Structure 1
Amino acid sequence: MPTTCDFCGRTAPEEVPPLTWSTSVERGRTRVFCETCSREHLRAMESKLDSEWW
């Protein structure tokens, strides 16, 4: 099963997220974000805001 970005829906062919993707745990659920979304929302991620606030 390919990995899917939880923000934009982009998919990676591997089952394990590529090293350029980032992961987050929000309310007990693991979320995965592609490198584009990770770069675009880096400050919000560092502030530990839930992705709903981005």
Structure 2
Amino acid sequence: MTIPPGGSDDGGLAAEPARLVCARCGASAEAPQLTWTCSVEHGTRRHFCVTCSRENLRSIEGRLDLNRW
């Protein structure tokens, strides 16, 4: 199957945007949100709003592997 540049393989059906929910405060937004933080913890993807990300930046950085620094 050939898909034209800029085209999609959805058969003409547009997928609904995923709704993000902050794992800390419950705030929600349409995806994607460039200001939100995404974390994978124990194999589960969690999203954090910009406010929670800023308030917990030290905790987030503290979980990074040393090779990420």
TM-score range, shorter-chain basis? Answer: 0.7 to 0.9
Share of identical aligned residues, percent? 53
The two structures have a TM-score, normalised by structure 2, of 0.63
Aligned twin of 1:10 = 27
Unpaired stretches in structure 2, ≥5 consecutive residues: 1-17, 65-69
- Please state how far the C-alpha of 1:17 moved relative to its aligned partner: 3.4
Give 4+ residue runs of structure 1 displaced > 2 Å after superposition: none
Q: What SS does structure 2 have at the residue aligned with 1:32?
A: strand
Segments of structure 1 that go 5 or more residues without pairing to the other structure are 50-54
Check whether the contact 1:8–1:37 (CA below 8 A) recurs between aligned residues.
yes
Amino acid at match of 2:53: S
Q: Report how many residues are paired.
A: 47
Structure 2 residue corresponding to 1:27, chosen from 37, 42, 50: 42
Bigger Cα Rg: 2
Secondary structure at the residue paired with 1:3? strand
